[in-house]
Structure 1
């Protein structure tokens, strides 16, 4: 499979949004079935991959409407932690963390809390040179939001504006750090909302499937390992890597997977990532440890 910097452009969106779409309407369940049966390929068109993996606001709406996970404010990063981020690395990682919190609150229609976290994200954006994205027009869009659909759309649109800005200005390392913050926070939220291991549970499977995205995150960081901040971050993620490296990948010969949208049967060799209860608990602890370190004063 080809890897390049373009691969990172969907990771942050995935971390903020895809983790909150796992339990939705029938369309989402079909998507999860395909996600847990990962097709074996040697080369993928990355533009198509980006389009496929980034969910729409509609997907998020479906999840909040029918999802089994319940909203909890306890998993949010405290807003005053932002005052502790005094260097660029901590501010960019923190921006990713708070952006994930913003997406989470938006997905659960917590309008007031989302507004509070928007202020934190906006403040950090000024510190890391993204202030131009948060225009007066954008802020007014948030103020005029009347329903969940609108809140999700504005949050989604804002993310893509940020990615475009960073790419256009060759800020690859910044995008990597922001992506890590968003992914770690999202997985922290989901593992805490799920809390307990359940066999054949689609949330557990989704968490296991994050192995592939995490490997891409690590690859993107390794390309910039000459930067001391990135090298340190790779080490901080080592415990998470150890757990994901230990997950078993099962070969499934000639599975018949129904593609509801195309009304086709996909036949071919596939794989499924398996996570045991012990591994789930290990991952939950590893994610909590790295998240609390990245979100705390010792970033």
Structure 2
């Protein structure tokens, strides 16, 4: 089935995307820029293509859920952001951020085939999406029907991913990039929360490495949000939260070693891919610090003030 292939490919890409990066040297290490904060002038120079690339790498709401299921981690409803009440969100800031958070939860529910439980969540997502005028990208009736039919999981996942990608693209191309950034950050924070909560209860080297490698993604998120950090007290607070997470990541090392080129056939032609492997050097204390700060920030963000 074509969609099955798409979802499987997405899973594989997520697992590999942080362990295979191009490099001109045999061994390199990812480090944060020396400055404590990213200059706004530098962040504003990002091209639309660069922003789209960052968005594409971060914003799928099923990536972490895919990994957790592949590791055979049991489902737990306690990880969900159940305190979010879409009817009590008063600002576009909160609505966009929590649309991302709930999108990650929807991916988690669907990956574990808890599709019946996702109907209430869909109602909240619909409310938030319509409030920021992006509801047209969700076919809620189709999603509802698929949610009630377990054999349609692949189709449900495909539609859910596609809806969020369309929203992200629409917001960025219509001068509402700040809402796109918030939605993406919401997806990432909730995915980070799911991963850190699981690894705290079910220690696993693969999962802890993926958490460590989020150092790279966090740097991209800071590039996305920096132009908006002075927009409002809410943005300023979120930026401070992300920089606090950056401090926890600073001494975690990610070292890349260049491998041999791999030849493959694609569309009748020969494609050469440069491969790399990564090693994450992270102590138990550093992982514990990430678990704690992620939980503190995420749980504060999902409160309905």
Consecutive unaligned residues in structure 1, runs of 5 or more? 1-20
Task: Provide the C-alpha distance between the structure 2 equivalents of 1:74 and 1:41, rounded to a whole number of angstroms.
Answer: 44
In 1, Cα distance between equivalents of 2:106 and 2:156: 10
Q: Any gaps of 5 or more consecutive residues in structure 2?
A: 1-6, 26-48
CA contact (8 A) 1:236 1:290 kept: yes
Distance 1:250 1:282, change over 3 A: same
Aligned position for 1:192:
197
TM-score, normalised by the number of residues in structure 2:
0.73
What is the root-mean-square deviation in Å for CA atoms of aligned residues? 3.7
Alpha-carbon contact 1:91-1:127 (below 8 Å) kept = yes
**Structure 1 partner of 2:86:** 82
| 1:14-25 equivalent positions in 2, closer than 5 A | none
Kept in 2, the 8 Å contact 1:251–1:269? The answer is yes
Q: How does 1:53-68 map to 2 (within 5 A)?
A: 53=57, 66-68=70-72
Q: CA deviation at 1:109?
A: 1.3
In the other structure, the counterpart of 1:6 is none
Matched ranges for 1:1-299 at <5 A: 32=15, 35-40=18-23, 46=50, 53=57, 66-78=70-82, 80-134=84-138, 138-145=139-146, 146=149, 147-196=152-201, 198=203, 201-228=205-232, 229-250=234-255, 252=257, 254-256=258-260, 272-298=279-305
SS in 1 for 2:280: strand
Aligned length: 269
1:30–1:259 contact (8 Å) kept in structure 2? no
Q: Is the Cα contact below 8 Å between 2:59 and 2:184 reproduced in 1?
A: no
Distance 1:274 1:52, change over 3 A: farther
| TM value normalised by structure 1 | 0.75
Q: Deviations over 1:235-259 (max 9, x none)?
A: 122321111122123353x444767
CA deviation after TM superposition for structure 1 residue 289, in Å? 0.6
